[in-house]
Structure 1
Amino acid sequence: MLSRFFLKRPVFAWVIAIIIMGAGALAIYNLPVSQYPPIAPPSIYVQAFYPGASAETVENSVTQIIEQKMTGLDRMIYLSATSDSSGSSRIELTFEPGTDPDLAWAKVQNKLQLAMASLPEVVQRQGVAVGKATRNYLMIVGLISEDGSMDGNDLRDYAQSNLEKVLARVPGVGEVENFGTQYAMRIWLNPDKLTEYGLTIEDVIRAVKAYNVEVSAGQFGGTPAVEGQRLNASIVVQSLLKTPEEFASIPLRVNQDGSIVRIKDIGRTELGTEFYDVQAFYNGKPTAGLAIRMASGANALSTADAVKKKLEEMSRYFPPGMKVVYPYDT
């Protein structure tokens, strides 16, 4: 009955078929990605940093201790770890597809607390990060200075200060890894001068901690105030040091004859970067690199588009000559 109706009206049948095909073509762009089954297994990473340690020291005192505690985790398939000479330790834990990433993150966090007491004190002060991200990079974002007004240290400091936290909040981004560090005041010590003046590195560290500190001494005109008091201001007796000259003038010792031994007498100070282990270049130009890892269960295309859209939005506030490039984009 129904087939006979369309056989006698072929034009109407063709119109219905074309409408169905057109609706299907339009629906391709609006298919909900959430309906696709999770294929990639979720992974959790644990990252720690041991400044000044060799790869072997990091492996023995950080990586192995954390690995030993990561046992008995439900639905964990395998784990892998890396330790490098820059003091970085990273452990990747991969779970079965379909595992709730939030639940897996909480379990790894609880296991990590059992290992924290056994880690070196300096590692505990630096902090141990636990996050949800895929193992492979989704894309790498680079910053270059087209006019050469900014060097690599300037670009890497800008990337970490202004871009890293913003990109980490983009939906679908699990981790933003910065290939570089921020500005840091570098104090280069002369071992011969230290021996000559009878000083040690610990003496220098204590002096820097004592003088590079902001101290509040109360308020001027604070309550209860006298009648007619209209001024209220905080009193700061010492603020954080900012320039290499200020750090060079930090006193280390006062001798019996009244002379003062300062940092500039046993070394030199300069504004540099915290670590020099990574030097990135793009087409021969110094660059700052930010590697993007996806969050577990995120869609790669929508995450990459969201990252590019956010960078395009922020590019309006870039310093003159700074440009965004994409050396690696999957």
Structure 2
Amino acid sequence: MIEKIISLSLKNRFLVLLTAGGLLAWGVHAVRINKIDAIPDLSENQVIVFTEWMGRSPQIIEDQVTYPLVTNLQGLPQVKYVRGASMFGMSFVYVIFNDNTDVYWARERVLEKLNYASRLLPQGVTPTLGPDGTGVGHVLWYTLDAPGMDLGEQRALQDWYVKFALQNVAGVSEIASFGGFQKQYQVTLNPNKLTYYNLSLQDVIQAVRQNNNEAGGRKFEMSDIGYIIKTSGYLQSVEEIENIPLKTVNTVPVSIRDVATVQTSGETRLGIFDMNGEGEVVGGIVVMRYGENADEVIGHVKTKMAEVAKGFPEGVKFNIVYDRSQLIEESVSSIKKTLVEEMVVVSLVVLIFLFHWRSAVSIIIQIPITLATSFILLNAFGITSNIMSLTGIALAIGVIVDNGIIMAENAYKNLSHRYEELNPDA
């Protein structure tokens, strides 16, 4: 069989060269479009359902949120198993699908099922889907270097300016903010005063909700001019909250300032984000969308960050603390270096031991053609260029070279014997 292939190849040299050239051109194109990442994505094909119900204990979360969701999501098609985790104020349900299931089809099925499962949850509790990313989707971390700006202002800058701008970058699934304080109005009630005025906690909550609203009116025409009437009632300061009336006692209105203390503060935190032991910082995590090219996404994010930085207050700038593109560049640089070293070593070995430059050329040509062809297979099976795949290719170069040297040396030896048989007097 091998002899027939060799004979056929020798008789059709032009066809063999044309095929090799075609594979090389196709392989070069495959290298350009192949997705690059540093870490292979070995995570499971999962959809995360996140539900928040603050102030409730893990046991209540388990009984009233996690258990109903898990039992209803188990009947989805192509589901391997469903995991649930309950903690203080939060519930996580992990729906694990088969590996060959399309992730966006899976998210649609989960969302359809949640439309029914939401009826079984307590009033006001709404489950949401997690980002369409994977466990290795955190491709870039950054912090805000803002001297002179407090943590609350930094978090506001991150949440209301930076986050919205970076989320528009192609391939980005989510910008997860961390650190700092999230500004909120806090109403601290005095239970003795509530009892004195015969008020309840629900009365105060209802009053705040009713007074933090806007309503539309109608169009009013006067002197051939139309006026649109509306009421503006959004709360914008501590004083406005303090002046909200609760009830009337002997023609005297009782407001929130009479039963509570109102102040602006940060939301209660369960942890802090410290940077090198130098203090707290505020920043964000760029989560890459499922199946995207990590190298391209990071490049686009950095370009967008340069545009966003132009709108920062004076002295504020980005500080990148984790950048996977550095590891990606090192991985690609390593395979290029290995390829050049292998070519040089092979050329020297063949030239020294065979003293035949044509044999060296034939072996060296095999390396780029074989490597380019391997990227065609990587794209066909959806495998990215990462540490594991590039290391495998680098190791395979040795096998390719060994095979070429053995075949060249064997052919050279047989040709010499044949030449001696045909020319015994030579």
- Whether the TM-score (by the shorter chain) exceeds 0.5 is yes
1:208 corresponds to: 208
**Size of the alignment, in residue pairs?**
304
Identify if the C-alpha distance between structure 1 residues 61 and 289 changes in structure 2 by more than 3 Å, giving closer, same or farther: farther
More helix by share: 2
- CA RMSD in angstroms comes to 3.5
Report the residue type matching 2:169 in the other structure: V
Report the residue type matching 1:203 in the other structure: D
CA distance in 2, matches of 1:82, 1:328: 29
1:72 corresponds to: 75
More strand by share: 1
Among 292, 308, 311, the alignment partner of 2:302 is 308
Identify if the C-alpha distance between structure 1 residues 65 and 179 changes in structure 2 by more than 3 Å, giving closer, same or farther: farther
Matched, 1:107 2:109: yes
Matched, 1:192 2:192: yes
CA distance in 2, matches of 1:142, 1:248: 39
Residue aligned with 1:117, SS: helix
Stretches (4+) displaced over 6 A: 22-29
The alpha-carbon deviation at position 262 of structure 1 amounts to 1.2
CA distance in 2, matches of 1:142, 1:313: 15
State the Cα deviation string for residues 158-177 of structure 1 (Å, max 9, x = none): 22222334333322223333
Identify if the C-alpha distance between structure 1 residues 133 and 312 changes in structure 2 by more than 3 Å, giving closer, same or farther: same
The alpha-carbon deviation at position 145 of structure 1 amounts to 4.5
CA distance in 1, matches of 2:33, 2:142: 32
The alpha-carbon deviation at position 201 of structure 1 amounts to 0.9
CA distance in 2, matches of 1:260, 1:163: 44
2:133 corresponds to: 133
The alpha-carbon deviation at position 325 of structure 1 amounts to 2.5
Residue aligned with 1:279, SS: coil
Matched-pair contact (CA < 8 Å) for 1:39–1:97: no
Gaps in structure 1 of 5+ consecutive residues: 4-18
2:311 corresponds to: 317
State the Cα deviation string for residues 125-158 of structure 1 (Å, max 9, x = none): xx52354221345145344343222x22222222
Identify if the C-alpha distance between structure 1 residues 56 and 188 changes in structure 2 by more than 3 Å, giving closer, same or farther: same
Gaps in structure 2 of 5+ consecutive residues: 1-8, 11-20, 325-426
1:46 corresponds to: 49
CA distance in 1, matches of 2:56, 2:161: 29
Residue aligned with 2:285, SS: strand
Residue aligned with 1:108, SS: helix
Report the residue type matching 2:264 in the other structure: L
CA distance in 2, matches of 1:38, 1:259: 67
Matched, 1:234 2:234: no
Matched, 1:120 2:114: no
Which aligned pairs between 1:240-319 and structure 2 lie closer than 5 A? 240-256=234-250, 258-283=251-276, 284-319=278-313
Identify if the C-alpha distance between structure 1 residues 82 and 168 changes in structure 2 by more than 3 Å, giving closer, same or farther: farther
Identify if the C-alpha distance between structure 1 residues 132 and 298 changes in structure 2 by more than 3 Å, giving closer, same or farther: same
Matched-pair contact (CA < 8 Å) for 1:38–1:297: no
Rg (Cα) greater in structure = 2
Report the residue type matching 2:310 in the other structure: R
Matched-pair contact (CA < 8 Å) for 2:58–2:86: yes
Residue aligned with 1:141, SS: strand
Matched-pair contact (CA < 8 Å) for 2:145–2:318: no
Identify if the C-alpha distance between structure 1 residues 83 and 176 changes in structure 2 by more than 3 Å, giving closer, same or farther: farther
Report the residue type matching 2:98 in the other structure: E
Residue aligned with 2:281, SS: strand
Report the residue type matching 1:53 in the other structure: R
Identify if the C-alpha distance between structure 1 residues 172 and 78 changes in structure 2 by more than 3 Å, giving closer, same or farther: farther
Matched-pair contact (CA < 8 Å) for 2:35–2:292: no
1:13 corresponds to: none
The alpha-carbon deviation at position 326 of structure 1 amounts to 3.1
Matched-pair contact (CA < 8 Å) for 1:134–1:296: yes
2:328 corresponds to: none
The alpha-carbon deviation at position 245 of structure 1 amounts to 0.8
Matched-pair contact (CA < 8 Å) for 1:183–1:273: yes
Residue aligned with 2:229, SS: strand
Matched-pair contact (CA < 8 Å) for 1:105–1:131: no
Report the residue type matching 1:318 in the other structure: F
Identify if the C-alpha distance between structure 1 residues 38 and 274 changes in structure 2 by more than 3 Å, giving closer, same or farther: closer
The normalised TM-score by structure 1 is 0.78
Deviates more, 1:181-190 or 1:202-211: 181-190
The alpha-carbon deviation at position 183 of structure 1 amounts to 3.1
Identify if the C-alpha distance between structure 1 residues 215 and 184 changes in structure 2 by more than 3 Å, giving closer, same or farther: same
Which aligned pairs between 1:106-185 and structure 2 lie closer than 5 A? 106-124=108-126, 128-129=128-129, 131-139=131-139, 141-149=141-149, 151-179=150-178, 182-185=182-185
The normalised TM-score by structure 2 is 0.62
Residue aligned with 1:282, SS: coil
Aligned sequence identity (%): 27
Identify if the C-alpha distance between structure 1 residues 316 and 213 changes in structure 2 by more than 3 Å, giving closer, same or farther: same
Residue aligned with 1:213, SS: coil
The alpha-carbon deviation at position 260 of structure 1 amounts to 2.0
The alpha-carbon deviation at position 271 of structure 1 amounts to 2.4
